[in-house]
Amino acid sequence: MADDTDEGALRHFTGTAGHVLTVFCALIALAHLYVAIDPVVSELTRNALHYGVFGLLAFLYYPLRHNTKASRAGLAIDLSLGVAVAASALWLATAENAIYDRGVNLSVPDWIAIAVAVIGAIELTRRLTGWIIPVLIILALTYVSWWGQFVGGVFRFPGLSIETVAFRSVYGDDAMFGSITRISSTYVFLFIIFGAFLLRSGAGDFVVDLARAVAGKMVGGPGIVAVIASGLTGTISGSAVANTASTGVITIPLMKKAGFNAKFAGGVEAASSTGGQLMPPIMGAGAFVMAAFTQIPYENIIAAAALPALLYFLSVAFFVRIEAKRANLPPMENTGQTLGSAFRRGGASFILPIALLIGMLVSGFTPTYAAVFGIIAVIASSWLTTNPMGPRAVVEALAMGTRNMILTAVLLCAVGLIVNVIATAGIGNTFSLMISDWAGGNILIAIILIALASLILGMGLPVTAAYIVLATLSAPALAGMIGDRFVIDALVAGNLPDAARAVLMLGAPDAMQAIMAPMARADASALIGSLPLEVAAPLRDLVVSPAAATAALLSAHMIVFWLSQDSNVTPPVALAAFTAAAIAKAPAMATGFASWKLAKGLYIVPILFAYTPLLSDDWGAVLTVFGFAVVGIYALAAGLQGCMENVIGWPMRAVVIVAGIACMWPGSLLINLCGVVVVAGLLFWNVRSAPAPVAA
């Protein structure tokens, strides 16, 4: 039996149908786990079947129209559509060799299967995410097959035959069954299952209990509980809206009870939950996609992402404490929750699997192996808690993981249709050149342009899809501009290698005399910014070390990934903020602006990525940048909120903001130290100048 409701646009199944689907979902998860350990099928077959089974589930769980009454006819139609998509995926998984044998000529069954798969992806993304992605898919496919030839300028594309477009849409390296779907069918799904097991074992309750025990008695304790709980829950789910919905029902009432106003409480939860997307090891599937794009090992990415994520959560915690001080709010009442009681209740099922997962990754095991053994560790360690997982709980966790994966799986498969067109038509390179041209070599302007693009894309695309599209279009240009800083430094120091100097002379013969001696930074920046790509690229290869080039590439992708999160907290969309507003019973738009203010780390930390060695493998430099940034972000939060330990006026707010910026100013330890001294002095003065408490 099935019924359609408006809750999450999902069709809910009960009775025998519900039990059958639960078992089916559990078997899908088990099959993926088995193939991860023993790849008994080819990558193409695995990816195609991955799309097929999740397409079937998506048609079953997401009805044609939201808020419609249940009907057997509607369910029968959706079941037929789902079976058709699954059958087409199965056919395409086995048809590739025959297509090549015919000289890449499609037969009638091939045409039908491709049409069903592509149209199914368009319809499913409409049901799951709205109209933006379907429209982008249609525009992309018709661009390379028809209307691209009528476009003027650099975006003119002569066009491919319908047969070539159809074949490449399915079998291309970046297409529906290509690299992005490979990420979905392996790393992402396995870690989604891992998160489902953690939730089913009671780890989510442990996270909230732990946060209460650690932060409950602090100033602004309920808000800091939200920050800690959302950060740790992000380790499990990696979804901002899911984090908000799960932890917000506990933390938002706590914050309101403690005296925070409703919109601020909702903003804290939304901003904190957005950080769950940035928190290793899952990072909302972003780390896996980033590893595929950059060819940087996954474990290196999550290691580099840890301190920036901590910096983000500290930034939100600073806002919470400062607001509590400004409003003179007392700490939480003692609930009797201690670290010991929290760990006894459910600590083992969270700490042991996470420790094993990280240990295996550090030891060199692949993320797939680490995820599988992490799932086994959750089951085993649950027997050390008050919520042991038996066979029924295991089946429920497997089914939960599959259901939680439906949207992500369909989305990642479908977005391959767009990425394939970008790669085929060379739009990414063209767009990258445009960003470089518009920015004029200025990294900050390029970051602002990417931030605006991410906000616009985020109005219609989930953050993972927005990151994929933006990274394909803009990350190469941004990585090149960050790499150019090393070339500029070499020109300023006058130690450009002879081979690089020869290349530079070819690109800028008029500057031959100038580059023989140390140059002013402004002149060097202008010179490098004026070089054509065919000169700038080999020049970087000669000057920038492999480690620095890798750091530049990682920085570019991290910048794009962080900026892609802003649609969760930035009006007019702000999905996480609107979810928090519903729980807090606060105005949606006001909560959105509160969350946008609290999530300033989303914009500050990417600038540190671009201009400092925060993501390098020099841990001394990384910790130095991190330490100064902690002080700087505290100062910025104090200036924006108008309070340190006590309320401050506008002149002092301006000074503390300038001092905060100085703490994070790149390339000058003296300026950083001056900023820290000013912030510390202002804080000391602020505490000492507080009025004495009035006697009762």
User: What is the per-residue pLDDT across 179-206, written as a single tens digit (0 to 9) for each?
Assistant: 889 988 988 899 889 988 988 888 878 8
pTM to 2 decimal places: 0.86
Using 50, 70 and 90 to split pLDDT, how confident is the model at 171? very high
Mean pLDDT of the chain: 87
Q: What is the pLDDT of residue 67?
A: 52
What is the rounded average pLDDT of the residues 247-261? Answer: 87
What is the rounded average pLDDT of the residues 284-309? Answer: 88
Of 582, 474, 595, 573, the closest CA to residue 129 belongs to 573
Instruction: State the burial class of residue 529 (Cβ atoms within 10 Å of its Cβ: 0-12, 13-18, 19+).
Output: middle
Using 50, 70 and 90 to split pLDDT, how confident is the model at 8? very low
HSE at residue 496, side-chain half, CA atoms within 13 A, is 29
Q: How far is CA 560 from CA 78, 187, 233, in A?
A: 37, 21, 23
What is the rounded average pLDDT of the residues 271-294? Answer: 85
Q: What is the pLDDT of residue 98?
A: 92
Using 50, 70 and 90 to split pLDDT, how confident is the model at 7? very low
Q: What is the pLDDT of residue 251?
A: 86
What is the rounded average pLDDT of the residues 40-60? Answer: 95
Q: What is the pLDDT of residue 660?
A: 96
Answer whether residue 638 shows pLDDT above 90. Answer: yes
Nearest-angstrom CA–CA distance, 53 and 417 = 18
Torsion of CA 426, 427, 430, 433, to 10 degrees: -110
Q: Which of 1-15, 402-416, 576-590 has the lowest mean pLDDT?
A: 1-15
The larger pLDDT score, comparing residue 336 to residue 648, is at 648
Q: What is the pLDDT of residue 237?
A: 66
Q: What is the pLDDT of residue 243?
A: 81
What residues are paired with 13 via a beta bridge? Answer: 2
| Tens digits of residue pLDDT in 529-570 | 888 777 888 888 889 989 899 999 999 999 999 999 888 888
Q: What is the pLDDT of residue 128?
A: 87
18 phi, psi to nearest 5 deg: -65, -40
For 244-304, give the DSSP string. Answer: HHHHHHHHHHHHHHHT--HHHHHHHHHHHHHHGGGSTTTGGGHHHHHHHHH---HHHHHHH
98 contact partners, CB below 8 Å, separation of at least 6: 107
| Tens digits of residue pLDDT in 565-603 | 888 888 877 888 988 998 999 998 899 999 999 999 999
What percentage of the chain carries pLDDT values higher than 90?
Answer: 46
Nearest-angstrom CA–CA distance, 294 and 278 = 17
Nearest-angstrom CA–CA distance, 603 and 559 = 9
The larger pLDDT score, comparing residue 231 to residue 80, is at 80
CA dihedral over 58, 63, 67, 70, signed as positive or negative: negative
Q: Under the phi-then-psi rule, with left for phi > 0, alpha for psi from -120 to 50, and beta for the rest, what region is 542?
A: alpha
Instruction: State the burial class of residue 545 (Cβ atoms within 10 Å of its Cβ: 0-12, 13-18, 19+).
Output: exposed
Q: What is the pLDDT of residue 690?
A: 65
H or E stretch at 4: strand 2-4
Answer whether residue 693 shows pLDDT above 60. Answer: no
Q: Under the phi-then-psi rule, with left for phi > 0, alpha for psi from -120 to 50, and beta for the rest, what region is 151?
A: beta
